Structure 1
Amino acid sequence: MESTTLEVPFLLANQSEGCVAPHAAVENTLFGVFYILLFFLALNGNALALWIFSHQRGAASPANVFMLHLAVADLCYVIILPLRAAYHLTGGHWPFGEVPCRAAGFLFYVNMYASLYFLACVAGDRYLAVVHAVRSLKVRRARSAHVASLLLWALVTVSMAPLLLSPQTAEVDGVTVCRQLYREKASSRALVSLAVAFAPPFLFTLTCYLLIIGSLRRGSRLDPALKTKALRTIGLVALIYVVCFLPYHLSRAAFILFYERFASGCASRRALSLANRLTSALTCLNGALDPLVYLFGAEKFRGTVRRMFCRGEAGVSAATSGELKGTHESSLSAKSEF
């Protein structure tokens, strides 16, 4: 997973080429407002999830362990969304200095690829719980899930570490820019890294969920209501991939292939740049959508949230002591917690 940059502000990126986007100020304002709203949604949803998962009593399921780490990944990136909003609201100027610029790019990619791999782990755990319910009981342990999660954290962090080691700010036309938000890296090596980083978790998740759907259709001991919940969860994860991750990687591939070689003229370059900005923003949306995965995918999380909203603050302690209390999943409960 090679370190890359995020997006190209139209105004600055095209000034040197004589291509100034006619609606750059409006676009930057819309992006800034979007990141502010996303900050509050993702912060509240993932902070609640982290609190619930970390206060579980008894043995947690492997899926809940992966979801806990997914919430941590989202929160790590949520904290720098205000900086990204400020960047857009100031017209593409980076006033925060070198270290925050490096952190912005580093956390963006750590969050995105950690999320991809943790969602893949959830898919793998669900596949074992449904298709190989009995044989997988010895494998599906919370401790094993924590070990796998730590290894994934190490892999993603080391892969993105170069972003923290090289200078990332520069002066362009008298304005300080953050290279992580200024210009894409258009190289064949970046394209290979893009495919290696995205394709494995995407294909693995897709395969697991197709096998689960096939198993449910062939017949399962799950009752119809639980089957419906399972299919809804699968659909939600597929939606996150299709909306948040797939467009960005397709857009980046197009940018790398065509921006320097084939995109002649302002219109085509602005189109590639706008696609990159939009899809980059969409990747951040996964921080707000992941709590929905917890809601559909974790019975204890769903029960706690239901009690909190139905009973108010008086029901929080009851939810914590009751709904979060449990032991190892049985074969049937493992299937039901999607």
Structure 2
Amino acid sequence: MNDMEIPWDSLDELNFSDTFSNITSVETMVCATAFNRTALLNSMCVLYTFIFIVGLAANALVLWVNIRAQRDSSPRHETHMYIAHLAVADLCVCATLPIWVSSLAQHGHWPFGEVACKLTHLLFTVNLFGSIFFLACMSVDRYLSVTQHADEGGARRKLIRRGACVGVWLLALVASLPETYFLHAVKSAHGDTMLCRPEYPEENPREWMVGVQLSFILLGFVFPFPIIAVFYVLLARAFARSSSSSSTSSSSPVERERCVSHRVILAYIVVFLACWGPYHGVLLVDSLSQLGVVPLTCGLENVIFVALHLTQCLSLLHCCFNPILYNFINRNYRYDLMKAFIFKYSTRTGLARLIEASNVSDAEYSAVAVENPPQI
């Protein structure tokens, strides 16, 4: 986020007299900035502030409701563990945004020091990878929960979920270490501005930069997106088979609920693709241009520079979409939310004691809401 000054620093740091001492003339091309840099910075600050406010509030609410729901002896949600970890990851991503906004508002100046540079970036990247990996785990888990009987291997599946959560966090940490290792707070060559940016080995900095970018593309999109898409398509097919084998009419509550489930599954895939596809696409073009596969012109350089920053803002919108897709549109979650607020704020009126005395189980609620709804 703080590489706004990098192209100009690189030009100032080149030692042409030593490198090209035996060459009579050197052709260099300095591209003029074809965009309003101040407008870009201000736009990013506004977008990050919006994501911070909405994402922080929504994910904090999700985490609070899930913690309260787990106090029940028999929790209803098959993927509650992944949802809680997903909310934590998105919450931590949003928590780092004010620091980036502060730096962007100062035109990329990083006043917080090198330790904060590394730790903030590590916290941001670990939770960013963790959020993506947990979405992939949820797609697999939901498909297995539908195709397998709920009473088969419940304890074993719970243990597997806990192991998967630990594995996700470890993998996210490992994926974040390379770029974090090279991050430094360095002084700009053309002023007193401090920048938080990676400093790769001088022998082959371009190869290191491209390697880090390609690893981010592979781990952040190429591997998880097919998993998410394939398993949610399989889940939709499982719903379709159960629908065709049942004798319910197309206007029955069960069939309408299944249609809603198909649309929700489609939304899972489309939102992930829309948030992460553009950023990784631009990152791939940038990597190919650095390798010389795609000719780098001044026009393309300006487009890549602006597109990388805007699509990164778009990708972070998933922190706002995840609570809506995986929680707020879920009927059981809305019931948990309603119950949590009732029990917290209505104790003086006796309404909480009345609901508790009615002893309506979660299964009874689900049966009243819709007969045997698909579990997504």
TM-score tier by shorter-chain length is 0.7 to 0.9
Separation in 2, partners of 1:199, 1:133: 31
Which residue in 1 is equivalent to 2:230?
207
Shift of 1:77: 1.2
How far apart are the structure 2 equivalents of 1:128 and 1:333?
21
For 1:245, the equivalent position in structure 2 comes to: 276
Matched, 1:116 2:132: yes
Q: Does 1:84 align with 2:84?
A: no
Q: How does 1:269-280 map to 2 (within 5 A)?
A: 269-280=301-312
| 1:268 shift after superposition | 1.3
- Asked if 1:52 is matched to 2:65, the reply is yes
Distance 1:165 1:154, change over 3 A: same
Counterpart of 1:233 in structure 2 is: 264
2:114 is equivalent to residue 98 of structure 1: yes
Contact between 1:213 and 1:231, CA under 8 Å: does it hold in 2?
yes
Tell me: CA distance 1:31–1:315, structure 2 relative to 1, closer, same or farther (3 Å).
Answer: farther
1:172-197: CA deviations, max 9, x gaps? Answer: 2222111169x996425642553245
- Where structure 1 has 5 or more consecutive residues not aligned to the other structure, the ranges are 1-5
Tell which deviates more after alignment, 167-176 or 36-45. 167-176
- Give the TM-score, by structure 2 length: 0.75
Residue 326 of structure 2 corresponds to residue 294 of structure 1: yes
Q: Residue type matched to 2:324 in 1?
A: L
Matches of 1:79 and 1:49, distance apart in 2? 15
**SS of structure 1 residue aligned to 2:107:** coil
**Percent identity (aligned):** 25
Q: Which residue of 2 aligns with 1:67?
A: 83
* Residue 310 to residue 229, structure 1, CA distance change in 2 (3 Å): farther
Q: CA deviation at 1:248?
A: 1.5
Q: How many residues are aligned here?
A: 330
1:227: Cα distance to partner?
0.9
**Matched position secondary structure for 1:95:** coil
DSSP-derived class of the 1:290 partner: helix
> Could you tell me whether the CA contact under 8 Å between 1:105 and 1:180 is conserved in 2?
no
Report whether the alignment pairs 1:156 with 2:194: no
- Report the AA paired with residue 195 of structure 1: L
Q: CA deviation at 1:45?
A: 0.4
Query: Which one has more relative contact order, counting CA pairs under 8 Å at least 6 apart?
Result: 1
- Following TM superposition, by how much is the alpha carbon of 1:304 offset from its aligned partner in structure 2, in angstroms? 3.0
More displaced stretch, 172-181 vs 227-236:
172-181
Other-structure match for 1:217: 240
Residue of structure 2 aligned with 1:258, choices 268, 273, 289: 289
Query: Which residue is equivalent to 2:36?
Result: 23
Instruction: Output one character per residue of 1:262-287: Cα deviation in whole Å (capped at 9) or x when no partner.
Output: 44443210101111111111121111
Residues 14-33 of structure 1: per-residue CA shift (max 9 Å, x gap): 57445334300011001101
Q: Which of 179, 182, 207 is the aligned partner of 2:197?
A: 179
Change (3 A) 1:216 1:323: farther
Aligned CA distance change for structure 1 residues 226 and 137 (closer, same or farther; 3 Å): farther
Instruction: Evaluate the alpha carbon distance shift between residue 44 and residue 197 of structure 1 in structure 2; reply closer, same or farther with a 3 A threshold.
Output: closer
Segment of structure 1 superposing worse, 232-241 or 221-230: 221-230
Q: Which amino acid aligns with 2:57?
A: N
Q: Distance in 2 between matches of 1:324 and 1:248?
A: 47
**Deviation at residue 128 of structure 1 after TM alignment:** 1.6
Amino acid at match of 2:49: I
State the Cα distance separating 1:252 from its structure 2 match: 0.9
Asked if structure 1 preserves the Cα contact closer than 8 Å seen for 2:86 and 2:131, the reply is yes
Give the superposition deviation at 1:290. Answer: 0.9
What residue number does 2:374 align with?
336
Pair 215,284 (structure 1): closer, same or farther in 2 beyond 3 Å: same
Distance 2:174 2:100 in 1: 23
Distance 1:194 1:137, change over 3 A: same
